[in-house]
Amino acid sequence: MSEQTPVPDPASEEPQGSRLTRRQFLTLAGTTSAAALLAACAPGATTAPSGPGGTPAVTTAPQVSTGGGELSYLHWTNFVPEMDAKLDELAKKWGDQNKVTVKVEHININDIPARRAAAIQAKAGPDLIFDTQNWPQLFSDALVDISDVASQIDKATGPVHDAAKQFTFVNGQWKAIPTGWGGNAFVYRTDWFKEAGVAVPKTWDDFVKAAATMKKAGHPFGQTLGHSFGDPPTFWYPWLWAHGGKEVEADGKTVALDSPETLAAVEQAVEMFKTGLIEGVLAWDDNSNNSAYAAEKLAATLNGPSIFINAGRNAAKGDAIAKRIYDNSDHFLHPAGPKGTFSLVAPYSVGLMNYSKNQQAAKDFLVWLHQPAQYLDWLESGGGYLQGTFKQAENLKAFESAPKMKPYRDLLTSGSIKWVGWPSPLSAASYAVYNNFIVIDLFAKACAGEYTPKDAIAWAVGQLKTRYK
Amino acid sequence: MAISEKLSGDTVAVRLGQPYRQSTLGAVGNFFDREDVLGYLLLVPVLVILGVFVGYPFVYGVWLAFTDTTIVHQGQFTGLDNLERLLGDSIFRQAASNSFIYTGVTTVFKLVLGLAMAAILNVKFRLNRFVRSATLLPWIIPTVLSTLAWKWMFDGTFSVINYALAGVGIKGPLWLGSWPWTMISIMIVNVWRGMPFYGVSFLAGMQTIPQELYEAATIDGASAWQRFVRITLPLLRNVIVVVLLLSTILTFADFQIVYALTGGGPANQTHLFATYSYQVGLRGLEIGVGAAISLFMFPILAVIVFLTLWTLRKSD
């Protein structure tokens, strides 16, 4: 044979269908890809929403305002599990009624910022995302103006609490719906306080003395100095403010931390850390004090009502320790410092992302979820863990059945609530400080002995200056 | 140029780059039949995947490191500002120091313990296969899951380790709440998790060493230690180098263990490059600065890879 002589293709001698030749593969792949590409580019090729079971919902599904499809809601994992279960139930109910598949994903709230950041960068992800603090302000460019939704909710359930509005109303537009408040108060053991002759502290000085007395009696206080979104900032920011310290001036640019007031706050924190707190709080997160209090290791700790609520629910199931805790616990609000009484709460909201492909469904869902029937149902399922941000949800039945929880309700109207970065307006810089735990670490580094109080302040000032410019 | 080969008794000649059979698809078919064309075409998917999922993120990350971009706003080119800021940041300096200490200490422990593990598992004994499988468990279990179990064991209030120590009259440390125990804790978990990888890799290498070498050495009067040092270690050299390379890269860029165990705390004392980058870039929204933190890892890892490959090539 000459060099030019074609040779039989070995594959062609095999029974047909048993093996693809390279040529057949290329032909098939090319044809399939071209067909898929053409189909995708064809006019009206948008995927039709699927009905239940994946069947096309074009002609057989009833006409609904939302147009069907899917809706995803990235929500936190609530400290009272019943609230998550209720939300899932409500979401399913609305989804079934409107032929929309609603997926509620619950994750640790500390992980939401990263998920949100990735979603914004990718322009894809959950349609609705749970917010706290000033996140709606920071991410306003990535959020849809849902003033129409807010207006409908306001008419049915409102008016909205002014203090909640500031976190979600951005430049004349509602960028999120304020869905609830998470106030923190001190839960304490009344029996142990009584045994030790300790009264409920009215000032921070009293608080430090009470902690020392209780620790000597074998029942220390517990206060986290770790990196977590809730309990650390709601304690240490008010502590700093009450002593007269602040991270920044009202202009939002001038760092103001280095002051005698801040030094006093740090020095007193070190004193309390040594004399009144349980060991290990430097590594605590938001769950640690719940566990320690439930194990009867603490006489007092700052927390949402979840400790008390869960103790009550476990007591009802026959748990003797939980019953003892529930019967012998009560609450008090932040004591006063030399400059007054301050507190910080977690304002929760939900925003609609601008990359969402199903915005109308998301809006309809939000309106429905915040109607009094559903909204109160959800809030009551938490036994008062979250308080309503709308007028019609101010007085939950939970507070009447558990009067010991009233401090949480009273906190919202106490006038003591400030925000991270106070007295400057809410800003990206204060958010960065909050999320990098700089104020918390100011105290943690001094308490751990890594720095002297003065050096800890110098360190924190250096950190603040890279954010406030 | 022609290549001749024997096929079914006939001499067949094929000219590279030319069709050896008339294509039914005509010119297009002939074009794809050219191996120099087809070869590159088949490479395209891999190159696209590498470009999209490795090349683009890398180049974009490098670009971000020199900008003041945040999660919400596209930033401007700021030159070396981010790097300058990081060099003056005590947390970053500590994260850098931690990364070297963490990688160095754990690698030594994993190497020594991995060799010991492999040497033990290389001996035949009853339930040998079961033990070999069991030792892989730390490596098989999802890292976050096992780390959470360790977190509970190290807990300041409920530590089972301290409870056991108290039983023999020893007051255990605050594993996650006091320096240097926090670093020691994350290193313990890393060694526990990483050792099986070393052990199994070394075991695979040991099983390729001819038994005759050991038998000859034994006849010559070599002790077990001498056989290990003179036969096992030299013949395992390449395996050790490759394992060290992979482990060093993975450990230096570790994230999961530190994130799940301490979150970089207390007071930022246990951050590594990766966890600090995450905190600043994603939690704190300063993605440009976060990218700059990650960028610091690149030259260090590049040097490690170069030295390792150089060592390997030298041994060849």
Is the pLDDT confidence value at A9 over 80? no
Size of interface A-B (CB pairs under 8 A): 140
Task: State how far the Cα of A291 lies from the Cα of A288, in Å rounded to an integer.
Answer: 5
Query: Which residue among A114, A283, A444 places its CB closest to the CB of B156?
Result: A283
* Residues of B whose CB is below 8 A from A280: 155-157, 174, 176-177
DSSP H or E stretch at residue B72: none
Å from A182 to nearest chain B CA? 21
CB contact under 8 A, B177 and A281: yes
Residue type, B257: I
**Band of pLDDT at residue A4, cut at 50, 70 and 90:** very low
Give the dihedral sign, CA A445/A449/A451/A456: positive
- Only one residue has tokens 């304002």, namely A347
CB contact under 8 A, A448 and B10: no
Predicted model pTM: 0.78
Task: State how far the Cα of B265 lies from the Cα of B274, in Å rounded to an integer.
Answer: 14
Is the pLDDT confidence value at A346 over 70? yes
Task: Residue B152: name the closest of B260, B32, B272 by CA.
Answer: B260
Residue type, B212: E
Q: Please provide residue B141's backbone torsions phi and psi, each rounded to the nearest 5 degrees.
A: -60, 140
B residues 101-160 closer than 8 Å to A (CB): 155-158
- Mapped onto helix, strand or coil, the DSSP state of residue B58 is helix
User: What pLDDT shows up at residue A161?
Assistant: 83
Identify which has the larger pLDDT, A44 or A81: A81
CB contact under 8 A, A23 and B25: yes
Task: State how far the Cα of B157 lies from the Cα of B139, in Å rounded to an integer.
Answer: 28
A residues 252-291 closer than 8 Å to B (CB): 278-285, 288, 291
Give the dihedral sign, CA A114/A346/A88/A177: negative
Task: Residue A108: name the closest of A77, A62, A154 by CA.
Answer: A77
A residues 113-142 closer than 8 Å to B (CB): 113-114, 116-118, 120-121, 138-139, 141-142
DSSP H or E stretch at residue B11: strand B10-15
CA angle, residues A218, A223, A228, in degrees to nearest 5 = 145
User: What pLDDT shows up at residue B315?
Assistant: 66
pLDDT lower than 70: segments of chain B: 1-25, 315-316
How far separated are the first and last CA of chain B, in Å rounded?
34
CB contact under 8 A, B14 and A450: no
Structure tokens that stand for A150 in this block: 């807010």
Task: State how far the Cα of A310 lies from the Cα of A90, in Å rounded to an integer.
Answer: 22
CB atoms under 10 Å from CB of A163, counted, come to 18
Average pLDDT over every residue of A265-273: 98
User: What pLDDT shows up at residue B24?
Assistant: 64
CB contact under 8 A, B176 and A283: yes
Q: Do residues A289 and A184 make contact, with C-beta atoms less than 8 angstroms apart?
A: no
**Band of pLDDT at residue A12, cut at 50, 70 and 90:** very low
- Mapped onto helix, strand or coil, the DSSP state of residue B6 is strand
- Only one residue has tokens 């002593």, namely A243
Angstrom distances, CA of residue B185 to CA of A291, B174, B176:
21, 10, 7
Report ipTM for this prediction.
Answer: 0.74
* Residues of A whose CB is below 8 A from B33: 23
B residues 31-60 closer than 8 Å to A (CB): 32-33, 38
Identify which has the larger pLDDT, A153 or A57: A153
Structure tokens that stand for A281 in this block: 């709080």
Structure tokens that stand for A384 in this block: 């008062």
Is the pLDDT confidence value at A137 over 60? yes
Residue type, B311: T
* Residues of A whose CB is below 8 A from B12: 1, 7
Q: Does B248 touch chain A (CB under 8 A)?
A: no
Task: State how far the Cα of B221 lies from the Cα of B230, in Å rounded to an integer.
Answer: 13
Q: Do residues A123 and B72 make contact, with C-beta atoms less than 8 angstroms apart?
A: no
Q: Which residues pair with A131 in a beta bridge?
A: A349
- Answer left, alpha or beta for residue A90, where phi above 0 means left and psi between -120 and 50 means alpha: alpha
User: What pLDDT shows up at residue A10?
Assistant: 35
Q: Residue A403: exposed, middle, or buried by beta-carbon count in 10 A (0-12, 13-18, 19+)? A: exposed
Query: Which residue among A1, A436, A437 places its CB closest to the CB of B10?
Result: A1
Mean pLDDT computed over every residue of chain A: 85
Task: State how far the Cα of A167 lies from the Cα of B113, in Å rounded to an integer.
Answer: 54
| Rounded percentage of chain A residues whose pLDDT exceeds 90 | 63
Average pLDDT over every residue of A104-112: 90
**Band of pLDDT at residue A126, cut at 50, 70 and 90:** very high
pLDDT in tens, A392-417: 887 888 888 888 999 998 888 888 99
Å from B108 to nearest chain A CA? 27
User: What pLDDT shows up at residue A66?
Assistant: 52
